[in-house]
Structure 1
């Protein structure tokens, strides 16, 4: 399994309603890409308070690297990715992505 972790520093003017719409759009991709095992998204509620501005994020679990590649090349992902970059502080610099193999 591959765990795809994305953390986002949204621009100050991007409200929670807009972020919820973006995350709903993300979850709609789940039905379109084979190999997505689950999607979780939301705002940090960490008691540690060390997010460093990355207050929102999502995690997608993929069956394998091929499923991740199918997601990355899907046109809906590309469109959503462009909107996330447009709404992040500093564009792509306001987004962190990690892909971690996870033993099943």
Structure 2
């Protein structure tokens, strides 16, 4: 799949392996996605954000790995992982 990826301090568009849903997760197909101000802020200040997350006891981003940006999206449900309630049908459009 193609994704906007935060890699080595830059946002790049690249291909990555198609995801599979894990326990309690839903697999979706992205229809539209935006990069918001918090993503751009993370790009510019990621090391400081990691430091602050550690100080307040939150799990920080792992900057040694690719981070997929774009948490504001519209998508449709494709599949379900184990342990999901499956209240919505595949093809249902959802957003975050």
**Per the shorter chain, which TM-score range?**
under 0.3
Greater strand proportion: 2
Question: With structure 1 as the length reference, what TM-score do the two structures score?
Answer: 0.22
Higher relative contact order (CA 8 A, sep 6+): 1
Greater helix proportion: 1
The structure with the largest alpha-carbon Rg is 2
